[in-house]
Chain A
């Protein structure tokens, strides 16, 4: 079964991937911070990430309803490339195709966790 991106069902499937990933749990064991992934001009995905687990995952019709520590914004085409493993999110940020609001240094110190998070997203069977 595939899930439409973005949708509440996709977010639930993503949440399950995160919370069943040993690789993420290990890589993010010291991570404390919430993130909203925003589709430019559209919906958002809120994740409350804490010590290798996702404590809360929520589909947001209005991303501005949350004030997370980090917000990552890209248009739909860029998100598709990220989810297909065709765009390295860090390269996307460096070339400003993906916008990060928040402390980059904290992200760069936790790149392995970020990579595992992306890997969890790519494992969700996705349709658009």
Chain B
């Protein structure tokens, strides 16, 4: 038995105007200070006002949102009593909005207590997720990642009840996004699509979404990075991120995310850049055991006609590295400017945190601790994994 969860998805040109058709009294908009300053939150407020709603702006979400921020947001929600909560932004505001939604409705719960095995019983509000980057897929998933600033680590959790009611994927919201953020987030979407396809929890409902998500990233990411105003590329990248989110959200992820979460938390690196770094190396590692179903992906995106797993995996890993290079993504830990001694000092923690990550155990090939440490060493130098 397994589940398939999905929000109602509104996508394409003018998707944001769908907000004008909603019914409700009060909407709490959860976002960050930059989006408030750029006027994007204002566009959302304007549409909600046309729907006759009163709005309240909580624009305090930081990158890699903390538990403390989510608690403050829940307090604002308790005072404002919204019947809609809007998560507007990249993964951080959308993830924070899920935690705020849960804690607003269940003040007896701490965000760390949210898990798929308890019934939240959400009834006071519904959630709208509006991505302003194309990568996280949070608008389509039940997962959330918060950072415990005291323990200096991220934790992933989720609940099927936290799948947004509505996801709005409007290409104009990502128009003009800087190249660096476009690359980081776009490669995050690719990592979702590829890992979502090969995870041990893959299933018939998620497979097609992951394949299509990967294909769209390979077809459109370079264009989106090159020209921030290429609306066709933006639209397809937005769709790719949501489609990949629908895919991995129903199948889980794998080793690149486990290693990337660990690395991102310990060296304070953006999520997308961190997980994407590990993707080709984890493809190498998995392919070395002739596991992974990568050949399906390689065939689907037209890289080969071969059904040979090993050949497909090698070709796909190479293609991922080519794309990363084309969008100026670092391909080794050293390229992040991290000193080798600092890396070595953190290595035991890198391994420990990766092994404790909730995505680690659904990887098609799970390394032993020593192998994992060796993988980090290879990634430091940018050497393809040969074991």
Contacts and interface: CB of A to CB of B under 8 A. Distances in A.
A61 interface: no
Given A91-B2, A91-B201, A97-B1, A108 B117 contact: no
B117 A105 contact: no
B263 interface: no
Interface in A6-35: 23, 26-27
Given A108-B358, A112-B360, A100 B366 contact: no
A109 B360 CA distance: 10
Give the interface size class of chain B.
Answer: 10 to 19
A80 to B, nearest CB: 15
Interface residues of A, number: 21
A64 to B, nearest CB: 21
Contact of A100 (B117, B356, B358): B117
Contacts of A93: 116-117
Given A88-B201, A91-B2, A112-B361, A96 B356 contact: no
A111 interface: yes
Interface string A101-128: 0001100111110010000000000000
Interface of A is mostly: helix
B355 interface: yes
Contact of A111 (B112, B157, B360): B360
Contacts of A26: 368-369
B75 interface: no
A115 B369 CA distance: 14
Interface in B342-366: 355-356, 358, 360-361, 366
Contacts of B2: 91, 95
18 contacts: A27-B355, A88-B200, A88-B201, A91-B2, A91-B201, A93-B117, A94-B116, A95-B2, A95-B3, A100-B117, A104-B115, A104-B117, A108-B356, A108-B358, A110-B356, A111-B360, A112-B355, A112-B356
Given A100-B117, A104-B117, 12 more contacts: A27-B355, A94-B116, A94-B117, A95-B3, A97-B1, A99-B117, A104-B115, A105-B157, A111-B358, A112-B355, A112-B360, A112-B366
